[in-house]
């Protein structure tokens, strides 16, 4: 089981760190837009969509890394005071809802992505860039998040059974 968790963690870590570098083009696009708009009174038609699509890639494809690190925002008024085993049991109960959500998102996201790729969908704006890469990223990100969720589920199950956290 440990080799499987190691592989899933490596995938989550690698994709999270890789797509974090997309922040650099986002910053560059914003700088170009600000310079064009305020110094040359010439905004660019492509900048807003480019920034939005690239930011969406960061948000979507970084999700598995955040889940692996358990970095999502949570309301932990009671949770933080629970013993390790109780936290794991609570996480296992909540994971049922997580997997239902991921199943629906994967099913719908895959349909959107495949349709979008099949018709080579574009945004429909004056610049009209292709939008299918973003919809494809939804499906890929959901798969990556699903894998990270499986790893968390296995770890939580182990802690719930043994009462000991893995180092």
Map out the domains of the chain as residue ranges: 2-162
Confidence (pLDDT) at 43: 82
Tell me the per-residue pLDDT of 44-75, one tens digit each, with 9 for 90 and over. 889 989 999 999 999 999 999 999 998 887 77
Backbone φ, ψ for residue 122 (5° rounding)? -120, 165
Could you give phi then psi for residue 133, rounded to 5 degrees? -65, -35
pLDDT in tens, 136-146: 999 999 999 99
Nearest to 19 by CA among 69, 61, 66, 65: 61
């Amino acid at each position: 089981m440990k080799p499987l968790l190691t592989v899933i963690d490596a995938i989550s870590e690698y994709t999270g760190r890789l797509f974090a570098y997309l922040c650099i083009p986002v910053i560059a696009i914003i700088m170009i837009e600000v310079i064009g708009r305020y110094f040359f009174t010439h905004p660019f038609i492509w900048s807003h969509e480019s920034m939005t699509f690239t930011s969406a890639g960061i948000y979507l494809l970084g999700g598995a890394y955040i889940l692996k690190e358990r970095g999502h925002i949570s309301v932990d008024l009671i949770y933080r005071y629970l013993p390790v085993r109780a936290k794991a049991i609570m996480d296992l109960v909540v994971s049922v809802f997580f997997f239902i959500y991921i199943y629906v998102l994967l099913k719908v996201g895959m349909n959107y992505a495949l349709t979008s790729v099949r018709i080579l969908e574009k945004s429909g704006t004056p610049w009209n860039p292709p939008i299918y890469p973003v919809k494809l990223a939804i499906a890929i990100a959901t798969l990556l998040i699903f894998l990270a969720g499986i790893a968390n589920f296995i770890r939580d199950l182990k802690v719930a059974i043994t009462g000991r956290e893995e180092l």
